[in-house]
Amino acid sequence: MKTQGGSSDAKRRAGESAANLVVDGMVVGLGTGSTAAHAIDALGEAVDAGLDVRGIATSYQSRRRALEAGIPLTTLDAVDRVDVAIDGADQVADRHLLKGGGAAHAREKVVDGVADRFVVVVDSSKTVETLSRPVPLAVLPDAEPVVERAVEDVGGDPELRTATAKDGPVVTDDGNLVLDCSFGPIEDPAGLASTLSSLPGVVEHGLFVGMVDEIHVGTDGDVTVERFD
Ligand SMILES: O=C[C@H](O)[C@H](O)[C@H](O)COP(=O)(O)O
């Protein structure tokens, strides 16, 4: 599944705005995707200028980006806490997100969920009244047919995500397959999240319900920040 695209300028504004929250000594969760990449680049520049931080990557892509940017990396087992996580989203409705357009949502949910402050960076094309994009499920490969049937039983329309640069399915960084499951407008994100979590074979779904502390929304000329505390 492709992520939706706002302008790169708007994404950069959001990413840079969130990176400004980071201060000396912090452990920072580094999200995945084209918007979080701008935050990683901005943090890299701050590190260059003397900022002392350590990053925790949420994917192969964010690890590579952080290494290129010169951000020292650590892992969850080496730290007591994650001060802030900065991550993108495919859709935002109030405090609820759909993530996983880059198939990284399982690791992202762990890092974003454990962070003291979870900051989302998006361009304004991502904000909606009601979440409606397909919900990505990371699925154990052997369980894929079972999960497909279970998703249909709960009213969804699952589609195996396929790769563009290889024959066959997308395989996540952790070796799982991805089912993009359409449910139409999602009026009850918490209810659907709980249903999807209960399906055997589902490693993680892309609904992030009520986890967000702060959202930075970039436009071509500005950035707005919404805080939930
Ligand atoms: O799996 C990928 C992530 O959840 C991304 O954070 C999400 O897809 C947003 O990516 P982008 O900023 O490129 O639209």
Write out pLDDT tens, residues 5-17. Answer: 678 999 999 999 9
pLDDT for position 4 = 61
pLDDT at residue 125, rounded to an integer: 97
Active-site pick, 16, 108, 144, 204: 108
Identity at 227, one-letter amino acid code: R
Query: Taking a C-beta distance cutoff of 8 angstroms, is the pair 31, 87 a contact?
Result: yes
- At 1 the pLDDT is 57
**Does the annotation list 109 as a binding residue?**
no
Q: Are 184 and 154 in contact (CB under 8 A)?
A: no
Q: What is the pLDDT of residue 38?
A: 98
104 is in an annotated binding site: no
Q: Is 13 in the pocket of ligand 1 (CB under 6 A)?
A: no
**pLDDT computed for residue 68 by the predictor:** 98
Q: Please indicate whether residue 36, judged by its CB atom, sits closer than 6 Å to ligand 1.
A: yes
Token readout for 60 is 């192969």
Is 166 annotated in a binding site? The answer is no
Residue 31 CA, ligand 1 centroid: distance in Å: 8
CA pair distance 142, 201, nearest whole angstrom = 8
125, 90 contact by CB (below 8 A): no
Closest ligand 1 atom number to CA of residue 121: 12
pLDDT-based confidence at 229, cuts 50/70/90? confident
Is any atom of ligand 1 closer than 6 Å to the C-beta of 105? Answer: yes
- CA of 103, closest atom in ligand 1: 1
- Ligand 1 centroid–CA 128 distance in Å is 16
Pair 122, 217: CB distance under 8 Å: yes
Beta carbon of 136 within 6 Å of any ligand 1 atom: no
Record the pTM: 0.96
Catalytic, 108? Answer: yes
What domains can you pick out in the chain, each with its CATH number? 8-126+209-221 (3.40.50.1360), 135-204 (3.30.70.260)
pLDDT digits (tens, 9 = 90+) for 171-218: 999 999 999 999 999 999 999 999 999 999 999 999 999 999 999 999
The predicted-structure confidence for 91-145, as pLDDT tens digits, reads as follows: 999 999 999 999 999 999 999 999 999 999 999 999 999 999 999 999 999 999 9
Q: List the alpha helices (DSSP H) in 30-185.
A: 34-48, 60-69, 105-114, 144-153
Alpha-carbon distance 195 to 217, whole Å? Answer: 30
Calpha distance 99→97 (Å, rounded): 6
175 known member of a binding site: no
Alpha-carbon distance values, 51 to 21, 46, 54, 143 (Å): 12, 5, 10, 45
Helix (H) or strand (E) run with residue 181 in it: strand 177-182
Contact between 92 and 6 (Cβ < 8 Å): no
Select from 32, 40, 107, 174 the residue to mutate for testing ligand 1; criterion: most ligand atoms less than 8 Å from CB: 32
Answer whether residue 3 shows pLDDT above 90.
no
Task: Please tell me if the CB atom of residue 44 comes closer than 6 angstroms to any atom of ligand 1.
Answer: no
> What's the CA gap between 70 and 190, in Å, rounded?
38
